[in-house]
Chains A and B, each alone.
Chain A
Amino acid sequence: MSITSTAERAPLGQRMKRFMSDYPLVPLLILLAILILVLQMLSPGIVNQRWIANTVKFAIPLALLAGCQTMTMLTGGIDLSVGTAATMAAFIVATQAVDNPAPVAMMIALIPAVLIGFANGIGVGVFRVHPLIMTLGTSLIGVGCLQVYQRTVIASGAKVPDFLIWLGTGVTGGFPNALLLFIPVAALLLFIQKRTGFGRLLYAIGDNERATRLAGVKYWQVILALYMFSSVLAGIMGLLYMGLIRAPSLSLAEPLVLPSVAAAVIGGTSIFGGRGSYTGTIVGALILTVLTTLLTILQMPEGARRILFGAIILLVTAAYLRIIEDR
């Protein structure tokens, strides 16, 4: 009796695995639905239109940062300097907007992001430093620069451009205005990943870097473009986040770095490269935002939340490794 049941169960497990690796979105959406259901049960009536708009509003910055991680992870890399790039952009726009018109301030604010991306790209692409170490190093330098910059503008005060506040916090007809920025960006990311040669090169490098180089791809050019793109995206996210939080600080976006990695990993992007898509990452960001609300309601301390995020990254990575090995 028990023998037949295990014989039946094994192929079912195989099929489940196969299904999950083919359609990673389905289990993710189920997980999201379960989380919302639990939330509704814990504090009935919390899930309404306003709550949904609010959740989306806070998930968008996270999803943008996770977009940086998705793109870099496709090549087997990671970008830990996104928090610094975003924070620098946010802080600089708030201080420069005092004297300059908003568009000029935003342009100035994106310069450091471009520089950080350039340094990352050179370090990873040309010198072959591990991306994790390289981006950690540039983010240290960036924080130092920001502190020096802060001393020079401490007297001038700060002002967040009205446009960014409208974009970050405004809600029109139940839809957050931030969607106006997010939908085109998400479409662009998906277009790059699925339809352009550059996107295919990213997957190719993540799959087999040596083979890609032997096929004649200029590795360092792709990597340089990738890390600059990632940094600029982080800078844009910083501008949006400034409009949402409205209080400049020197560690504005840092708390989002870890969740951004977690969102990309949960969304099915392999940290080893070659697998993943931005659609999954968006759902991953939503899951994490709902999860954060849930943990806040349960009054879980910040420390426990970090432990949980670390465990999620480890568990999901190990699980994906098993699925890939079986195929």
Chain B
Amino acid sequence: MMRLLRQQGWVVGLLALFVVLLVVAKLIQPSYGAGDFGSLVRAVLPYAFAVAAQTVVVIAGGIDLSVAAMMALTSVTAASMMHGASEEYALLVVPFVLALGFGLGALNGALIVFSRVPDIVVTLATLFMLQGAALLVLNAPGGGSAEWLRNLIIGTVPIPGLPDDVTSWFPKALLLLVVLLCVVWIPLKRSRLGLSIYAIGSNQLAAFRSGVPVARTKILAYAFGGLFGAMGGLSLTMSTGIGAPIPGPYLMASVAAVVLGGVVLGGGKGGLLGPIIAVFVLRLARTILTLLAIDPNVTAIVEGTILVAVVMFGAFIAMRSRSR
């Protein structure tokens, strides 16, 4: 038990912070309840997938600047394909979009491996290309979404034998998030590939000399990042019902949440749970600022400052651990 606590100390601390913030929200606005929690989770959904995408790539020792553009492209692709189409057709659209994300992510990785240009430059270039592609698919917000897809994240999960005011704290969106992340992440982490991802992030040369296929692992890590990005794009379409070709503020938020979640920029350390809780903490902090009746534009400034401060802190920690 103590060992678990020590290993997961950072995550437990974040969880405690999240609970404290929930209490603060409740104190500021006594009517803050299950419904507000549900809308918080729905708002978190795209951020959480962006963070998951960034986490996989950062653990592998890279960084993906194209994550927000990837979400925009997958979102507009889904929205424009589902626009005016039948409900059943959407069953085909979802796997197609996920495969598209996986493929484009793999392309990111392949470009990095074969051009030998650093991650940050390649993904900057693909950021622009994906953005351009999104504009080609749909040059103004539009499209549509299948009804069943939208219903996936609206409402709560009915659990038999529990009273309504307990089940109302389990929004469907939370279930969707947990299931999707677990289905991809747990098998990945337990597999040989997951081990290789941690290995190349920790020390690429050592991993190469121990027989880890560095190139393949890196490509697959970016591919899984792309897959999570596609999920984020789909969740955007789900929650808004349309697709927008202009990328949202997900890049900066994902990097900040990854750092806050205990994943070291530079790779090899950390898990997925920390960053996901961190993104909840960051979103809740924003909700609290809104509850305090602060001008939303000022909220944006405060949020940006928090993100920059977190990233600065993370870089400082990384610098300290390198010099030791």
In the complex, which residues of chain B have a beta carbon less than 8 angstroms from the beta carbon of A130? 63, 120, 265, 315
A132 vs B319: C-alpha distance when bound (angstroms): 17
In the complex, which residues of chain B have a beta carbon less than 8 angstroms from the beta carbon of A133? 252, 255, 311
Query: CB-nearest residue of chain B relative to A142?
Result: B304
From the candidates A129, A144, A305, A313, name the one contacting B297 in the complex (CB within 8 A): A144
Q: Give min CB distance, A326 to chain B, whole Å.
A: 13
Q: Give min CB distance, B173 to chain A, whole Å.
A: 26
From the candidates B117, B129, B137, B252, name the one contacting A140 in the complex (CB within 8 A): B252
Task: Assess the A307–B304 pair: CB atoms within 8 A.
Answer: no
Task: Assess the B308–A306 pair: CB atoms within 8 A.
Answer: no
Q: Give min CB distance, A29 to chain B, whole Å.
A: 25
Known A302-B139, A321-B117: A136·B251 in contact at CB below 8 Å: yes
Task: Assess the B115–A311 pair: CB atoms within 8 A.
Answer: no
From the candidates B131, B252, B301, name the one contacting A306 in the complex (CB within 8 A): B131
Task: Assess the A145–B301 pair: CB atoms within 8 A.
Answer: yes
Task: Assess the B127–A310 pair: CB atoms within 8 A.
Answer: yes
Task: Assess the A304–B132 pair: CB atoms within 8 A.
Answer: yes
Interface flag for A103 (CB, 8 Å):
no
In the complex, which residues of chain B have a beta carbon less than 8 angstroms from the beta carbon of A214? none
A42 vs B89: C-alpha distance when bound (angstroms): 44
A308 vs B127: C-alpha distance when bound (angstroms): 12
A311 vs B111: C-alpha distance when bound (angstroms): 11
Query: CB-nearest residue of chain A relative to B316?
Result: A127
In the complex, which residues of chain A have a beta carbon less than 8 angstroms from the beta carbon of B316? 127-128
A259 vs B251: C-alpha distance when bound (angstroms): 20
Task: Assess the A303–B255 pair: CB atoms within 8 A.
Answer: no
Task: Assess the A132–B136 pair: CB atoms within 8 A.
Answer: no
In the complex, which residues of chain A have a beta carbon less than 8 angstroms from the beta carbon of B300? 140, 143-144, 147
Task: Assess the B297–A148 pair: CB atoms within 8 A.
Answer: yes
Chain A, interface size category, equals 35 or more
Q: Give min CB distance, B145 to chain A, whole Å.
A: 22
Which residue among B128, B131, B297 has the maximum number of chain A CB atoms within 10 Å of its CB? Answer: B128
Chain B, interface size category, equals 35 or more
Interface flag for A323 (CB, 8 Å):
no
Interface flag for A34 (CB, 8 Å):
no
Query: CB-nearest residue of chain B relative to A131?
Result: B120
In the complex, which residues of chain A have a beta carbon less than 8 angstroms from the beta carbon of B307? 137, 140
In the complex, which residues of chain A have a beta carbon less than 8 angstroms from the beta carbon of B131? 303, 306
**Residue-wise interface mask of B (106-125) relative to A, using a CB-CB cutoff of 8 A (1 in contact, 0 not):** 00000100011110111011
Known A313-B125, A314-B122: A137·B117 in contact at CB below 8 Å: no
Interface flag for B5 (CB, 8 Å):
no
A206 vs B100: C-alpha distance when bound (angstroms): 38
Q: Give min CB distance, B203 to chain A, whole Å.
A: 19
Interface flag for A233 (CB, 8 Å):
no
Task: Assess the B315–A303 pair: CB atoms within 8 A.
Answer: no
Interface residues of B in 279-319 (CB under 8 A from A): 295, 297-298, 300-301, 303-305, 307-308, 311-313, 315-316, 318-319
Nearest 5 CB-CB pairs, A to B? A306-B132, A303-B135, A310-B128, A303-B136, A144-B300
Q: A314-B125, A321-B117 are in contact. List 12 more A-B contacts (CB 8 A).
A: A128-B319, A129-B315, A132-B124, A133-B252, A261-B124, A302-B135, A303-B133, A303-B139, A307-B129, A309-B128, A310-B125, A311-B129
Write 14 A-B pairs (CB below 8 A) sorted by A numbering. Answer: A127-B316, A127-B319, A133-B255, A137-B304, A140-B249, A140-B308, A301-B139, A303-B134, A306-B132, A306-B135, A309-B132, A314-B122, A317-B115, A318-B115
Residues of A within 8 A of B (CB): 119, 123, 127-130, 132-134, 136-138, 140-141, 143-145, 147-148, 151, 258, 261, 271-272, 301-311, 313-314, 317-318, 321
Residues of B within 8 A of A (CB): 63, 65, 111, 115-118, 120-122, 124-129, 131-137, 139, 245, 249, 251-252, 255, 265, 295, 297-298, 300-301, 303-305, 307-308, 311-313, 315-316, 318-319
